[in-house]
Structure 1
Amino acid sequence: MSSYNLLSEPIRKYIAEQNWSELRPIQNAAIQRILTTTDNYILSAKTASGKTEAAFLPILTDVDFSESGVQVLYISPLIALINDQFKRIEELCEHLDIVITKWHGEASQSAKKKLIKNPNGIVLITPESLESMFCNRSHEIPHLFSNLKYVVIDEIHYFDGTNRGVQLNSLLYRIQKRANVNFRLIGLSATIGDLESIKKFGGRPLDTKVLKDSSSKPTSVSFKYFESKGGNNYNLDLIKDLFKEVYNNKVLIFPNSRGKVEEITHYLLKISKQGNLHTNFFAHHSSVDKSLREYIENFAKTNTYSPFSICCTSTLELGIDIGSVDKVVQIDSTFNIASLVQRIGRSGRKDGQESKVVLYNTNSWFLLQSIAIWELYQQGVIDSKTNAVYPFDILVHQVLSVIRSRNGITQNELINYFEQNYSFEHVTAIQIEQTIQSLLEKQIIEQTGQELLISLEGEYIVNSKDFYSVFESEQMYKVIHQNIVIGELPLNPMLSEESKFLLASRVWRVILIENDSKKIIVQPANSGDKPTFYGGPVDISHIIKEKMLEILISKQEFDYLDQASLDALKILRDEFAVYKLVNYKIDRPLKHDVNKTELYTFASSKINRTICLFLDFNGIKNDYNDLENSIILKLTTAQDLYKLFSKFNIDSKEINLYLKEVIEENPNIIDFSKWGKYLPINQQVSLLLDAYYSVEETLQFLNNIELKENIL
């Protein structure tokens, strides 16, 4: 039977009303498999390929919504994406009597109360709101979800390899246990790196299949190069060229930070105003107030003719519908291939349109990384994030959540519960017990008789709204002008009364900082600096770094590079020609300078950090430049380094003891994890190793490489 004929009559009616000439490939495949098997499915297809419909057309056909209880749970990483998808799912359900409920911090309280009173239909939720539901309405979980048939995870790649992903998987397990229910899981993504990792969501990896639409959309690309002339600001020539590139088009511009977003938007607006041209240039990132972001999104979606440019971070990388844009601009390299895929997919969303992307670079190393990522994208390669083997910090969070939701539980019950929880498949009963003991010692929980309970101090933690998320949020101050919230900023030493800064594409002068209410009162100003935001280190995968070296030592020409890019690449290639590198898998340059030696590893960020860790362990001073793939040492020869590498094959216990001393001397080193401070020291060491290092991979790398020296 054809996919179309498998669908219910109301769904076929919906398709007819949409004037679809045919179902798309991912929709055909999903309908057939979902309706004729009991497996879980990951649906992978390019942006704007109809993945949402591919999941919901068969689900709406399969489920009997006249039965009581929530039948479908849709989980999204973003509230904005939930609000966007709510409208699409509502349209799909137009001919069906199905209640659709948004459940998040900004959603209607009356709709939530109706759902609790009469649970049914489809619920759209974030992991954090699901966590809140367990903490505050645990007794309602069986009532809500005992008849749950499907869980749909949108942008599932966004969760993979992250703490939010571990939390989400644990919450899925908890629904299964608390509501005594088995559901099918459907994941949606345009970019999947590690298939085996993704298939673990929902706890049935062997019964989870991947449906992938590998058809590609035509994409045109051009590279432009404007070397940064010192400082942290963009070359003015780049801004002028960018203005010519975008001012008469509908464009998304992606720099790699919120501060850069503000800088670029400000200068584009300034140039446009000087020429009396349109002023449709917007800054869109998480620190811009939600109402302004929604205005920008709606403007882009409903505006038919006027050109506009939205300068944004990853806030618009995911599938929020802003309509189709003419092109996407990336400024300096993305940090992974998946981000580039997502961003390119925002352009040419209509059938028959090609995606257009312009990649600007401001130094030769960013250029090399951009070329490497583009070439890997062309080959269909997606790099994947590494999942923590021992996510002890999320175990702490989930232990506290379970104790709170149960209002007490025995230690044996708790250990048994988490031994079975597939989010913590490698964590042993002894390790779970150690985590519990640490929480007891730190007086976050207490034992009364046989039961573990949240302590008085622990109540302050678990009753905070901040408890539901597993990531640390910056302490933010609301920026206010004439009682209107413009956005929010972290307070930093550069921000004081009379200082000026850019936010929401405008310049502001600080009138007053109210620390008690966490407000910054501002007035418009004429000039100011981009604000300072803080973020952790970004990992670059080994496959990207290795590709950079392959390009560097090859003679391959790239017809998408402008002349300035070609010149910059030639200079970099000439610089490394002296090493006579042949095999990009093995050969590594060792550069001798007058006062130093530089080892160019062209290895992943984790391998580089681990080499530096080994050097620190052996008392050897070093400096590390991740962008340039180099580790700087005092003068040494290749032979000396080989001898040094042989010492690195040390017992893991020695590394653990060394890191234990490092953490004890500097406890703040574990602050990258919101929940790490509650762990015993041995688990903090494991957490640090998991997050930043890769010992086995590094030893294998060092055993395989051959150093090629330049001769002074």
Structure 2
Amino acid sequence: MTTHTSNSFFLLDERIQRFLWQEQWEALREAQEAAIPFIVGADRDVIVAAATAAGKTEAAFLPALTHLLQQETPALIVYVSPLKALINDQFGRLERLCEQLEIPVWPWHGDIAASTKAKFASQRHGVLLITPESLEAQLCNRGTAVAALFERATYFVIDELHAFIGSERGKQLQSLLHRIEIAIKRTVPRIGLSATLGDMNLAAEFLRPGGSTGVAMVVSKSEGGELRILLKGYEEPLVVRAKPVFVDEAREQTADEDDEEPPEPQMPAAIAAHLFKSLRGTNNLIFPNSRREVERYTYLLNRLCDAQLVPNEFWPHHGSLSKELRLETEAALKQKERPASAICTNTLELGIDIGAVKSVAQIGPPPSVASLRQRLGRSGRRKGEPAILRGYTIENALGGQSSLATDLRLNTIQAIAMISLLIEGWFEPPAVHGMHLSTLIQQVLSVVAQYGGATIGQLYGCLCAPGCPFSGVSKDEFVTLIRHMGQKDLLVQESSGLLLHGQLGETFVNHYSFFAAFASEEEFRIVCGNRTLGTLPVSQMLTENQRILFGGRTWLVKEVHEEEKLVVVEKARGGVAPAFSGGAGRTHSKVRQRMRELLEADDIPAYLDPMATQFLAEARHSYRRLGLHDTAFLDLGSSVVVLAWFGDDVNEAITCLLRYHGFDAMLAGPFVEVQKGQRGVHEMVQALKKGIQPERLSDLFSERDNLQREKWDWALPDSLLHKAYSSRYLNLATAAMWAENL
């Protein structure tokens, strides 16, 4: 350990210094050097933002443990993680050090034995590693004991901070920390650890609502070494069917076509073959964009292993797999004897320690630039090794009635846009807007459980007053919410004014599933006639008569059943083939604007293979041929496509505004499609410029729109559901600004 240049090393307790000597640390990392002076005094909130494997955990724990060792009475560090697997990891990392320091470490989640939890409850000091859900269970079930349980809390350490920001779970965590501070009658310093934060000020506001100016920031710039990128393009050939000779045969063939399964795409097998050839013998992560695709590529790669008579090296990992199968994959990645690659969804994006991987493969555009950055942080972690990104995009062959998405090669253009933004160091800022009323319902029920009843004034003061997690909710809105919870039998009011659980509320709170604020990731079942076509995650509003792409075909949405998570479709005829296929997350405006810049430019990125280069050239040719450089409206005969080149929040706002003004509009991936009627583009522009008055917000939606995205949305009155949805998913301000400039 070179200590002569390190001031921070000497701020650590001598026993910790000795441990670092024994472990043969050469030096403190940049993030650790900068964070230790801020954290060791336990007198302020701190955010430590650094690349994956930059030593963030130690940057928090070395100074926090030093502070604990200096106290005359036992103290407590509460570490909150989004994943049980991360808690198990951190327990393994901390246990050896803490054993030497004689500081107990307590993992606490659903799989931990009751005896361990009882032991912690009797001692209440050391390091507690816990999930938000287990924290919620403590506040609900040990109401009167909460103050005693956390009275020694000296730090709250929140790992993977970016995974909480802007989510229902993040709002729940804010509320839980706030409620613990109310119970112990003091504030506790909060330390946020994160690899990906686009805007530090927004992150600070999340960490300490209303007190962000006092948050110290540690941003480590050392992003590691060389980055190698290859983007390969694959063209899916057109399916040509023999043309019938007679009219009757044509009718017969059309009927047959409707019933016949679409052919399996050919290109995934070609991508699997390239992955097999390039990745065998090393550890890698492969990210397709859905659970269905994870299963597809796992099957293809396992088959290649069998055909070559070699041991399997490719393992699946996604949220729907059983715990045993996920642990099997994690174990395969961690062991050093045999190479292993995981085909995964974002479940392996967060900091589960699977060791260094050689490369990261991304099939299709990633959900966001931030997630691509997070994924890539797994590669190039060994000294002298580059980080390697292999990207794969599939485009349908041009010809026949190719869609606008195919003509513009949108998969490839979006992938290039995201890679270019990644190289520049841009990624999405935290989405901190949103009323999160679903979680407010859960927290109202939880507070009533904690105190055995509460008045409406106490609830508002605890949850919605200035500086509280739900401070954006007005008194009138809160009263409306509480009344509606009464109508739903979630709450009842005694004659004294005390609010208690209603019969239904009692049932919910007494079930273990209550502790999670987020809805389990349910997919909508897609049904045509009496046949189930499959399931689809839905991240945009679905409306009747909207076209969706599923299983290589275009379908017309006939009904959306929110409660049953069911979409009834029929085969679509004509119209623009949509780019909407669900599941890839919501795209930011900066990405779409970069896509347009790429289409208008002439340079060719060096990391494209010949087919991806051809896709880029074809996309630019189509863009110019269609005259899209100087119009935002493309006439397709029966409909007009609006190309605003904004993110999903703006496009969805444009769609809602056009519908409000009487147009038949629907989302079509990165565009908005409007069916032609009596009125033309000029009337459309005028309607968008008119916008909508805030008091008419509810008129943007119809009764049939699928707005219930979160766990408790079903318990919201329509007026608040509309407000909650708008605050989270619509950007009306930018839509209005864009319309003004048309």
- TM (norm. structure 2) is 0.83
Preserved contact between residue 222 and residue 560 of structure 1 (Cα < 8 Å): yes
1:444 aligns with 2:470: no
Map residues 520-599 of structure 1 onto 2, 5 A cutoff: 538-578=585-625, 588-599=631-642
Structure 2 residue runs without a partner (length 5+): 1-5, 239-261, 396-408, 536-580
1:192 match: secondary structure:
coil
Counterpart amino acid of residue 411 in structure 2: F
Out of 395, 402, 405, the residue aligned to residue 440 of structure 2 is: 395
Map residues 53-72 of structure 1 onto 2, 5 A cutoff: 53-64=58-69, 71-72=76-77
Name the stretch that deviates more: 679-688 or 370-379. 679-688
Out of 640, 660, 664, the residue aligned to residue 621 of structure 1 is: 664
2:365 match: secondary structure:
coil
1:322 aligns with 2:364: no
1:423 match: secondary structure:
coil
Q: Deviations over 1:639-682 (max 9, x none)?
A: 444333333x23122232443xx2xx33x734312112222332
Map residues 633-648 of structure 1 onto 2, 5 A cutoff: 633-634=675-676, 638-647=681-690
CA drift of 1:556 comes to 2.1
Partner of 2:231: 223
Distance 2:45 2:111 in 1: 31
Partner of 1:505: none
Q: Deviations over 1:340-383 (max 9, x none)?
A: 01110111222322111100011321111111111111111110
Distance 1:600 1:54 in 2: 46
1:608 aligns with 2:616: no
Partner of 1:238: 271
Distance 2:483 2:639 in 1: 48
Partner of 1:310: 342
CA drift of 1:44 comes to 0.7
Partner of 1:207: 214
Shift in alpha-carbon separation, 1:451–1:594, aligned structure 2, 3 A:
closer
CA drift of 1:638 comes to 4.9
Partner of 1:485: none
Counterpart amino acid of residue 196 in structure 2: T
Name the stretch that deviates more: 118-127 or 270-279. 270-279
Counterpart amino acid of residue 209 in structure 1: A
Q: Deviations over 1:141-161 (max 9, x none)?
A: 111111211011000000001
Q: Deviations over 1:33-54 (max 9, x none)?
A: 2236732111111111111011
CA drift of 1:336 comes to 0.8
Preserved contact between residue 127 and residue 168 of structure 1 (Cα < 8 Å): yes
Q: Deviations over 1:288-315 (max 9, x none)?
A: 22122222212211224x3322101111
Q: Deviations over 1:209-236 (max 9, x none)?
A: 2211112222111000112347674613
CA drift of 1:21 comes to 1.0
Shift in alpha-carbon separation, 1:444–1:69, aligned structure 2, 3 A:
farther
Distance 1:287 1:581 in 2: 42
Partner of 1:696: 733
Partner of 1:481: none
Preserved contact between residue 41 and residue 67 of structure 2 (Cα < 8 Å): no
Shift in alpha-carbon separation, 1:595–1:429, aligned structure 2, 3 A:
closer
1:361 match: secondary structure:
strand
Counterpart amino acid of residue 443 in structure 1: D
Map residues 231-630 of structure 1 onto 2, 5 A cutoff: 233=265, 235=267, 236-304=269-337, 306-363=338-395, 364-420=409-465, 422-448=468-494, 449-473=496-520, 538-578=585-625, 588-627=631-670, 629-630=671-672
C-alpha root-mean-square deviation of aligned residues, in Å? 2.6
2:469 match: secondary structure:
helix
1:94 match: secondary structure:
helix
Shift in alpha-carbon separation, 1:211–1:430, aligned structure 2, 3 A:
same
2:410 match: secondary structure:
helix
Out of 183, 191, 197, the residue aligned to residue 186 of structure 1 is: 191
Distance 1:314 1:658 in 2: 33
Distance 1:553 1:34 in 2: 49
Preserved contact between residue 160 and residue 385 of structure 1 (Cα < 8 Å): yes
Partner of 1:520: none
CA drift of 1:249 comes to 2.3
Out of 6, 24, 27, the residue aligned to residue 29 of structure 2 is: 24
Report how many residues are paired: 646
Preserved contact between residue 658 and residue 684 of structure 2 (Cα < 8 Å): no
Preserved contact between residue 588 and residue 601 of structure 1 (Cα < 8 Å): no
CA drift of 1:272 comes to 1.7
Preserved contact between residue 69 and residue 145 of structure 1 (Cα < 8 Å): no
Partner of 1:710: none
Name the stretch that deviates more: 6-15 or 677-686. 677-686
Partner of 2:561: none
Distance 1:128 1:436 in 2: 23
Shift in alpha-carbon separation, 1:248–1:194, aligned structure 2, 3 A:
same
Q: Deviations over 1:535-569 (max 9, x none)?
A: 77721111111111111111122000000000001
Distance 1:500 1:490 in 2: 9
Preserved contact between residue 69 and residue 148 of structure 1 (Cα < 8 Å): no
Partner of 1:650: 692
Distance 2:643 2:97 in 1: 54
- TM (norm. structure 1) is 0.86
Preserved contact between residue 70 and residue 123 of structure 1 (Cα < 8 Å): no
Partner of 1:34: 39
Structure 1 residue runs without a partner (length 5+): 476-488, 502-533, 706-712
Shift in alpha-carbon separation, 1:229–1:397, aligned structure 2, 3 A:
farther
Distance 2:137 2:74 in 1: 19
Partner of 1:685: 722
Counterpart amino acid of residue 175 in structure 1: I
CA drift of 1:68 comes to 5.6
